[in-house]
Amino acid sequence: GNSVTQMEGPVTLSEEAFLTINCTYTATGYPSLFWYVQYPGEGLQLLLKATKADDKGSNKGFEATYRKETTSFHLEKGSVQVSDSAVYFCALRDPYNFNKFYFGSGTKLNVKP
Amino acid sequence: ETGVTQSPTHLIKTRGQQVTLRCSSQSGHNTVSWYQQALGQGPQFIFQYYREEENGRGNFPPRFSGLQFPNYSSELNVNALELDDSALYLCASSESILGETQYFGPGTRLLVL
């Protein structure tokens, strides 16, 4: 079956620190992979995505590389800001049932000034 | 361009009651998906509607049902509410049935007492 596993939070960092949030997946075939961000009181927003092995998704200074060999899609940012404080969700799209997306449980990031 | 909107924002019901949640998709989007997000968890796929027909369903019982209207707005109905139905219900729309990018609404928080 399909599933996504994320590192548990909360992750607390100081401003300008380096961020890594780990995500691994289990899937049949080769799914598209996504990172979504959820700010307090808001719905999920797509942060970045990658559709095939070795693709790198990037947006707003965040990056993630689709690693087929390790079935991973870790989120990184070189220098976090207080405004990055949110919950981050890793997700995959079932390659055989396009209507189904599977989300991880989310990782809360707190960035302190 | 209007984003995805949901109503109501909050709702309190008692066990055994029925509830209807509403979603207006983003302009031009003909596909709507509904998700349940329990506290501290990632969203779980309930079902998807495409051009007024259900197009796939997650692991939810039949008391969860939906509708999509000709203007592509949608409803989620839950009958015989249970305490475990307490969650944030998210609606997401996409440009087409193959669209990878989903646009989420802010959600409806349902509390079942």
CA distance A44 to chain B (A): 6
- Distance between CA atoms of residues B96 and B51, nearest Å: 10
Residues of B with CB under 8 A from a CB of A: 4, 33, 35, 40-45, 48, 50, 55-56, 58, 90, 92, 97-98, 100-107
Read out DSSP for B73-111? -EEEEE-S--GGG-EEEEEEEESSTT----EE---EEEE
Asked if the model's pLDDT at residue B8 lies above 60, the reply is yes
Q: Could you tell me the pLDDT band of residue B1, with boundaries at 50, 70 and 90?
A: low
Chain B residues touching residue A44 (CB < 8 angstroms): 43, 90, 92, 104
The 10s digit of each residue's pLDDT in B26-85 is 888 999 999 999 998 999 999 999 989 999 999 999 999 999 999 889 999 999 999 999
Report the half-sphere exposure of A36 (CA within 13 A, side-chain side). 25
The 10s digit of each residue's pLDDT in B81-108 is 999 999 999 999 998 877 888 999 999 9
Report, as an integer, the average pLDDT of A22-32: 93
